[in-house]
Structure 1
């Protein structure tokens, strides 16, 4: 038992990942005790504390490609690679931590990281990269599960009238993304600017309407005390 505990917390890289993974475990235990857990029933409100990025990207597929005159940002592509929006963020984050934790433990044994002291934390850089790549494959069954239970995000009518921040720069007929927060849940929507006026990354905007085809939302710049 002593050897196991020593392995979990030594070297420093192991300790960091053990603590991070343990926090996720405590979160899920607390969630289960509160009765929120993995309720996949037809009336389930699948929202994970304050970190649920819903699948509200609205499936902008090939029929919209001709309307998009800019490439998605690197961050957007990275989020899509690990299925952010297709499963609750806390589920994805927990899986990422678990994969990283396992790789760190294995690496510490194979590479004898204990001999490197605090410098062992440097191993986390390649481990995080590898975990990110592996997560794309490991998360597939989870994403399929959420899709099968109808994880579709909030209803459209709940977005109109809400404020958010642009997560891309757009003008004219370009499509971009906006980030909004509903009851501590972070969501991203595809949007187009009203009358084509330029909107920059980080601008405060107001969602004023929805496209007739329900493929994106119309936004305009929001003037408030924070940006005057």
Structure 2
């Protein structure tokens, strides 16, 4: 037992990743004991609703656009590990767990204990490696959430919801907007209702959707924060 604890908390990178992973484990345990359980309906990211999958933006055959969509670097980074297509906490937990396993293995392979506190710098390449691995690890997770159908959940109604633009749109251009629903990040294909320019980062509100539900019509949201 003492050897296991020493491995989990020595050297420093192991201690950091063990602590981070334990926090996620505690979160899921609390979620279960508080009555939410581990069911998939907790996230409300219902893949059954139309137009809610960001990958539609990347497919020019699916959308009739007259302008270039320019997602931010952060938006592209989130897309790469499928944030928005699976619950955020699931993605975060997987990231920590994979990083934790790589860190434990690295402590053996590279004898990190001999580097003292400087061994913490090994976390930088480990996080980078984990990020790229997450692209492939999350693929079956996304498929799983599509297949389970979120038992008991209804399709999300986005009309009237407020969000933030993640690209600039005007005229007939179609862009990307981000919405937070029960702590989960959901991105939708959106279009300016009046054709006015709506810039990246602007607060917007959904006012309508197209008959084919490929994208939503939005307008600028006037509130106390942007007056």
**What's the TM-score once normalised by structure 2's chain length?**
0.86
Which structure 2 residues correspond to residues 177-216 of structure 1 after superposition, within 5 A? 177-216=176-215
- Does residue 46 of structure 1 match 2:26? no
| Residues 26, 192 of structure 1: alpha-carbon distance in 2 compared, 3 angstrom cutoff | same
**What's the TM-score once normalised by structure 1's chain length?**
0.85
| Number of the residue aligned with 2:109 | 110
- Does residue 28 of structure 1 match 2:49? no
Runs of 5+ consecutive residues of structure 1 not aligned to the other structure: none
Inter-partner Cα distance in structure 2 for 1:175 and 1:122: 42
| Residues 54, 170 of structure 1: alpha-carbon distance in 2 compared, 3 angstrom cutoff | farther
| Number of the residue aligned with 2:169 | 170
Inter-partner Cα distance in structure 2 for 1:31 and 1:115: 39
| Number of the residue aligned with 1:19 | 19
Inter-partner Cα distance in structure 2 for 1:108 and 1:80: 31
| Number of the residue aligned with 2:96 | 97
| Number of the residue aligned with 2:216 | 217
Q: Is contact 1:160-1:207 (8 Å) kept?
A: yes
| Number of the residue aligned with 2:125 | 126
- Does residue 137 of structure 1 match 2:133? no
| Number of the residue aligned with 1:6 | 6
| Number of the residue aligned with 1:78 | 77
TM-superposed CA distance for 1:35, in Å, is 2.8
CA RMSD of aligned residues (A): 2.3
Inter-partner Cα distance in structure 2 for 1:77 and 1:58: 10
Inter-partner Cα distance in structure 2 for 1:124 and 1:80: 23
Number of residue pairs matched by the alignment: 219
Any idea what the Cα deviations from partners look like across 1:136-186, whole Å, max 9, x if unmatched? Answer: 222222222211112598635x21112111122222222222222334443
